[in-house]
Structure 1
């Protein structure tokens, strides 16, 4: 059985997704379709990166992963006609735009990527070229062809990796990467990095403004620890620090925008921590 995953910004109303799925199951009968998400922010490929990065590895080898997200995260992908590519990485197949997304996804640039050829029929779907180009590629992969048979080898556009937190001796300054359907915010502070800097010292985690309800000094084990009057922090299955509010949505509890930071402050003693907390509003 051929398994195909979809990570797109096509929305959940069914217009684009429905047309794509209908055409794909007609081309490849029996294909197993799995939706990673269709609600990536429009033209925000980094959101697609995070969603797929922590999902694809759980699928069986030779799964075909389709990314249908516009926008770019590279300086060299401003093309009049978008270029679409197919390649194999870590025993999985990937199909999507050549826009810098892949370096962010894997932490390195795939070595052998192949441009997908545009058939004359693709002009019919100029406003939605994925409907022809991606499905044609999936059909050929399902027949046993390899990416090298689908087009000429091209350079994979350089992008940028997911930003690392700013690290100092006694601080980590991070940012939000992703908000799930529950409103919980996943940051770019990894568990390994947190405990490496922590080194068994007391700490406090603050989101945005310096107020008590936006601060915690413990790592929770589940989402229901504490009460709904202040934030909690825990490490999600992704391995990154996650900020939540029990029985509430973080995004409704704290004003958050693209500039909101997460400050983790480490202290050499409890006395130092208590002195610092005494200055809070």
Structure 2
């Protein structure tokens, strides 16, 4: 039985996540369910896209990923099922999947058309679970939808390159639980544009001219522990997903502060990389 993952903005207080799991077990008593996250900010498509992009690769091929963010069916928000990179994704056609398709070509996309058989104002529970169950039992996508080739693009995914390849203009797409700020600038793009040149990263009034690979790179371990002043060290680094991240070493919003609070950065704020001509 394939694994079914859940990524939603339901939170933990309400009954929604539990009800969806119950519906899955009602469909398949031997189902394997994994919660990726139920703490996506409400209707925050970039957050959901970033989380699912970086989580799905750790699951085995054939896993079914149900994404319950901004999933209400309406004329501008259809439901889709996608086979891509050996995984299945069931979600609304609201741009979330475009963060994945910007790098990987889908093998198949269908617009789900079983709504005439399901009456619901809770589509994750009644529609997405039915689709996930169908796939888990070995069903094909053609049975539950019609083939389509285009899906909605999520704006703000791709940074802009300008000034004759001297500047990358990116934006904040995610702030993690530690308050670290993740941009949409990838290591691949940085290396392609930078070609080994010196650079300065600008984020509001803050500048960085070095990118690390570990959070602890901010600490000089040659100094004795009582002289390191570990907490509160700021740094730029390539995170585990190879996105440019601005961070505070051992950050805490209650003590040393976080990158988001200390740098004054929020979702969609600009992060610039300027290369030496």
Q: TM-score range by the shorter chain?
A: 0.7 to 0.9
Distance 1:101 1:31 in 2: 25
User: Do residues 237 (structure 1) and 240 (structure 2) align?
Assistant: yes
Shift of 1:191: 0.9
Query: Hey, what does 1:172 align to over in structure 2?
Result: 168
Which residue, out of 237, 262, 266, partners 2:271? 262
**Mean alpha-carbon deviation: is it higher for 182-191 or for 9-18?**
9-18
Query: Would the aligned equivalents of 1:103 and 1:109 in 2 still touch at CA under 8 Å?
Result: no
Query: Hey, what does 1:187 align to over in structure 2?
Result: 183
Which residue, out of 129, 135, 147, partners 1:135? 129
User: Do residues 95 (structure 1) and 90 (structure 2) align?
Assistant: yes
Structure 1 unaligned blocks of 5 or more: 269-281
Query: Hey, what does 1:217 align to over in structure 2?
Result: 209
SS in 1 for 2:189: helix
SS in 1 for 2:139: coil
SS in 2 for 1:224: helix
SS in 1 for 2:188: helix
Distance 1:11 1:153 in 2: 33
Query: Would the aligned equivalents of 1:115 and 1:153 in 2 still touch at CA under 8 Å?
Result: no
Distance 1:172 1:156 in 2: 28
User: Do residues 64 (structure 1) and 64 (structure 2) align?
Assistant: yes
SS in 1 for 2:127: helix
Query: Would the aligned equivalents of 1:3 and 1:33 in 2 still touch at CA under 8 Å?
Result: yes
Query: Would the aligned equivalents of 1:165 and 1:188 in 2 still touch at CA under 8 Å?
Result: no
Query: Hey, what does 2:41 align to over in structure 1?
Result: 41
Query: Hey, what does 1:24 align to over in structure 2?
Result: 24
The C-alpha deviation readout for 1:120-156, integer Å capped at 9, x for no partner, is: 5x43x42x12211111112222222111112333564
Shift of 1:247: 2.1
Which residue, out of 110, 113, 116, partners 1:113? 110
Shift of 1:38: 1.5
Residue correspondences, number: 256
Query: Would the aligned equivalents of 1:85 and 1:114 in 2 still touch at CA under 8 Å?
Result: yes
Q: Aligned pair in 2 of structure 1 residues 175, 8: CA closer, same or farther (>3 Å)?
A: same
Query: Hey, what does 1:52 align to over in structure 2?
Result: 52
1:134-153 superposed matches below 5 A? 134-153=128-147
Shift of 1:243: 0.7
Query: Would the aligned equivalents of 1:86 and 1:94 in 2 still touch at CA under 8 Å?
Result: yes
TM-score normalised by the chain length of structure 2: 0.81
TM-score normalised by the chain length of structure 1: 0.80
Distance 2:199 2:82 in 1: 44
Shift of 1:87: 3.2
Structure 2 unaligned blocks of 5 or more: 219-229, 252-257
Query: Hey, what does 1:272 align to over in structure 2?
Result: none
